[in-house]
């Protein structure tokens, strides 16, 4: 099949690789209808020295073309949303809603390709009722595999309550989805921290009531003023850098929780500040499967259109340009069509 | 008055100092009936270089002997429990239950002395109904000023639910009170991590169903075995050292919360592990006043006897011996009677 492959820092290619196969009786193979590049793909893209090459991409929707002998819930021909992390749905962690800590955890590893292997197909895949959807729905369905579910997880982890004031740190696809989640959950005031005009606009369309363009101490001061000196009732940290985490804790009101979903890079948590202010931290890798049925219903009902985070669509063959566009912040998120 | 004073590392004395006075119209002065030494007092005792001297001690119960002009809820003659942190009860943080982040925060600074000044008397002090209590109740009432409320806060912060399996890291007074809190809140299984036989015994009397005497990796292995490989549903971290925090995160099940109340010393939070396992951290300096009415009722009703953490009572004049006994772990907690 044709697949995006990573060879070394900024050396990304599309080339022929062996098709994935059913390796276990609980596997399924999905013919990818749409994949995309994640902000977290940029970390290995920028840094990773690989031995030879590896496929990349953990977000995909498409059609099931093969299932293992033990797969019962999913059939060939189903059009499915593939959570980036695969889970059995039956272990103690899945039953507690922490599918991302499944004892049989798997990952999509060729989402930017023609085919993807899904481990734990029964526990992971969610079929779209009625089969292949209206193509206009593809972008939104694709966000459910990761970024929308991740933004939702940030809001859940932060303990967001209706009527509250929420601040969202990060204006990438996850941050924007966090704004959408906060708004859908009934936050009265949603403050988006964003310096980029097109992203500010989308944040407002997703429900942001206020935008703070400042960074660092100025952002903290602006947030304090917006909240009468109190701080935000809940903070969604959707970046994962040290600066973003520092800002998140600085704007959180005492007793609140920072919901964090950005893969941490160079983060040192301010434990003394957390102790003095009783600001907690919760979140992590999103248990996508937990939220999927609810989010799918919202997307199909048209009450939520997270697919608007895609501002560029390219054929799979142009994956290298997709990475460049996101790396240079020319695009928020790029969809790839095999 | 006679007061315990700190002059430098391990240089603690009892000497004559000026009586505290009403400095603000919201102040009260309490004649200390009983004070005590806190585990957190040992940090400055061991390390702190002071300019001249300062009084010490933040736990006290006693009789109100003077109130400022604006004090309305508390009267001279009331026998009161003094939360170690004073709060106005009216600011946004107090109204949200985070009294330890009050915008008018104060602290008891001469609890190991004859008299203590209480700022924000109306918002802070809770009178014992009926005046001076049975002397047998003094130790338990004294724990409500800090350690019992702090153990309770650890359990609340960890999101403890009835029927769950709880692990408590630390067998000091706070950890033991954490065991008592977990038990009172309906935990089905309470695992106390303790290496010291007398403390293990008290932990069991306070409701611990299991004791793990191992430390580090062995403790983690023991906890995993006790929980069928899953980990604890909630963890109370009641020490504040790097080792204790590492253990707490290692034994917490994915998706759970470590409630932390030990003042952090040399703690580096394992952010990558937290992300991968969705184990959160919550807690901090306890909002004692929030829990005080409920805990006072339990103590007066005899359903809870946290005062059993005191295993030594000395006259105030022997405060230096009280510090030595706790520093050398000869005593769990020492009560001082002026």
Token pair for B140? 């338990």
Mean pLDDT of A185-198: 97
Query: Which residues of chain A does B268 touch, with a Cβ-Cβ cutoff of 8 Å?
Result: 268, 271
Among A97, A100, A274, whose Cβ lies nearest the Cβ of B284? A274
Across the interface, do B255 and A97 touch by the CB < 8 Å criterion?
yes
pLDDT truncated to tens, each residue of chain B (338 aa)?
999 999 999 999 999 999 999 999 999 999 999 999 999 999 999 998 778 899 999 999 999 999 999 999 999 999 999 999 999 999 999 999 999 999 999 999 999 999 999 999 999 999 999 999 999 999 999 999 999 999 999 999 999 999 999 999 999 999 999 999 999 999 999 999 999 999 999 999 999 999 999 988 999 999 999 999 999 999 999 999 999 999 999 999 999 999 999 999 999 999 999 999 999 999 999 999 999 999 999 999 999 999 999 999 999 999 999 999 999 999 999 999 99
CA distance B6 to B4: 7
Query: Which residues of chain B does A98 touch, with a Cβ-Cβ cutoff of 8 Å?
Result: 254-255, 278
| A39, A47, B247, B260 from B267: Cα distances, Å | 30, 29, 12, 12
| A87, A196, B221 from A103: Cα distances, Å | 8, 40, 17
pLDDT over 70 for what percent of chain B? Answer: 100
Residues B65/B76, Cβ–Cβ less than 8 Å: yes
Among B268, B278, B285, whose Cβ lies nearest the Cβ of A278? B285
**Averaged pLDDT of chain B:** 97
Among B272, B279, B285, whose Cβ lies nearest the Cβ of A264? B272
Across the interface, do B282 and A278 touch by the CB < 8 Å criterion?
yes
The conformation of residue B303, written as its DSSP 8-state character, comes to S
Query: Which residues of chain B does A260 touch, with a Cβ-Cβ cutoff of 8 Å?
Result: 275
| pTM tops 0.80 | yes
Query: Which residues of chain A does B96 touch, with a Cβ-Cβ cutoff of 8 Å?
Result: 253-255
Among B255, B268, B284, whose Cβ lies nearest the Cβ of A101? B255
Across the interface, do A282 and B278 touch by the CB < 8 Å criterion?
yes
Most A-contacting residue of B249, B252, B276, B280 (CB-CB within 10 A), to test interface: B280
- ipTM for the whole complex: 0.96
pLDDT tens profile A217-263: 999 999 999 999 999 999 999 999 999 999 999 999 999 999 999 99
pLDDT score at A182: 98
Does position A49 have pLDDT exceeding 80, yes or no? no
pLDDT score at A48: 83
Torsion sign, CA atoms A60, A61, A62, A67? positive
CA–CA min distance A229, chain B (Å): 10
Residues in chain A: 338
Across the interface, do A254 and B96 touch by the CB < 8 Å criterion?
yes
Cβ-proximal residues to A306 (8 Å cutoff; 6+ apart), any chain: A139, A140, A143, A144, A147, A148, A151, A177, A180, A299
CA distance A31 to A64: 6
CA–CA min distance A281, chain B (Å): 5
pLDDT score at B50: 79
Please report the domains of chain B, with CATH numbers, ordered by start residue.
2-146+287-337 (3.90.180.10), 148-283 (3.40.50.720)
Q: Which candidate, B284, B336, B288, places its Cα nearest to that of B106? A: B288
Q: Which candidate, A101, A109, A160, A100, places its Cα nearest to that of A5? A: A109
* Nearest chain A residue (CA) to B269: A269
State whether residue B297 is helix, strand or coil.
Answer: helix
Q: Reduce the secondary structure of chain A to three states and give it as a string.
A: CEEEEEEECCEEEEEECCCCCCCCCCCEEEEEEEEECCHHHHHHHHHCCCCCCEECCCCEEEEEEEECCCCCCCCCCCEEEECCEECCCCCHHHHCCCHHHCCCCEECCCCCECEEEECCHHHHCEECCCCCCCHHHHHHHHHCCCHHHHHHHHHHHCCCCCCCEEEEECCCHHHHHHHHHHHHCCCCEEEEECCCHHHHHHHHHCCCCEEECCCHHHHHHHHHHHCCCCCEEEEEECCCEHHHHHHHHHHEEEEEEEEECCCCECCCCCHHHHHHHCCEEEECCCCHHHHHHHHHHHHHHCCCCHHHHCCEEEEHHHHHHHHHHHHCCCCCCEEEEC
* Nearest chain A residue (CA) to B260: A275
Among A92, A101, A263, whose Cβ lies nearest the Cβ of B277? A101
CA distance A1 to B256: 41
Across the interface, do A264 and B285 touch by the CB < 8 Å criterion?
no
Chain B residues touching chain A at CB-CB below 8 Å = 92-93, 96-98, 100-101, 157, 228, 230, 253-255, 257, 260, 263-264, 267-269, 271-272, 274-285, 287
- Sheet of strand B54-55: strand arrangement: B11-16, B2-8, B54-55
pLDDT score at A297: 98
CA distance A176 to A169: 9
Q: Which candidate, B243, B226, B228, B153, places its Cα nearest to that of B191? A: B226
The conformation of residue B309, written as its DSSP 8-state character, comes to G
CA–CA min distance B163, chain A (Å): 14
Across the interface, do A260 and B253 touch by the CB < 8 Å criterion?
no
Token pair for A124? 């992971």
Mean pLDDT of A267-279: 97
CA–CA min distance A144, chain B (Å): 19
Query: Which residues of chain B does A96 touch, with a Cβ-Cβ cutoff of 8 Å?
Result: 253-255
């Amino acid at each position: 099949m044709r697949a995006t492959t990573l060879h070394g820092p900024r050396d990304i290619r599309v080339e022929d690789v062996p098709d994935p196969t059913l390796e276990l009786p609980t596997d399924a193979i999905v013919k990818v209808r749409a994949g995309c590049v994640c902000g977290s793909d940029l970390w290995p893209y920028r840094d990773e020295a690989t031995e030879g090459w590896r496929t990349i991409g953990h977000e995909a929707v498409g059609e099931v073309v093969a299932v293992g002998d033990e797969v019962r819930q999913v059939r060939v021909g189903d059009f499915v949303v593939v959570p980036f992390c695969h889970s059995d749905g039956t272990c103690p962690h899945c039953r507690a809603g922490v599918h991302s800590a499944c004892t049989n955890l798997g990952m999509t590893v060729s989402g930017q390709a023609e085919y993807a292997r899904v481990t734990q197909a029964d526990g992971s895949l969610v079929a779209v009722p009625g089969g292949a959807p209206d193509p206009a729905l593809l972008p939104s369905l694709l966000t459910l595999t990761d970024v929308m579910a991740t933004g939702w997880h940030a809001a859940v982890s932060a303990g967001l309550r209706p009527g509250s004031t929420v601040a969202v740190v990060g204006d990438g696809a996850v941050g924007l989805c966090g704004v959408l989640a906060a708004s859908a959950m009934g936050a009265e005031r949603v403050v988006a921290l964003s310096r980029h005009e097109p992203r500010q606009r989308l944040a407002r369309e997703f429900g942001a009531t206020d935008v703070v363009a400042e960074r660092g101490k100025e952002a903290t001061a602006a947030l304090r003023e917006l909240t009468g000196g109190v701080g935000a009732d809940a903070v969604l940290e959707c970046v994962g850098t040290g600066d973003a985490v520092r800002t998140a804790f600085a704007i959180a009101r005492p007793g609140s929780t920072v919901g964090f979903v950005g893969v941490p890079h160079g983060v040192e948590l301010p434990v003394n500040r957390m102790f003095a202010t009783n600001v907690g931290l919760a979140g992590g890798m999103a248990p996508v499967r937990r939220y999927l049925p609810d989010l799918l219903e919202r997307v199909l009902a048209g009450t939520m259109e997270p697919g608007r985070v895609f501002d560029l669509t390219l054929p799979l063959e142009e994956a290298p340009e997709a990475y460049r566009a996101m790396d240079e912040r020319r695009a928020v998120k790029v969809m790839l069509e095999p």
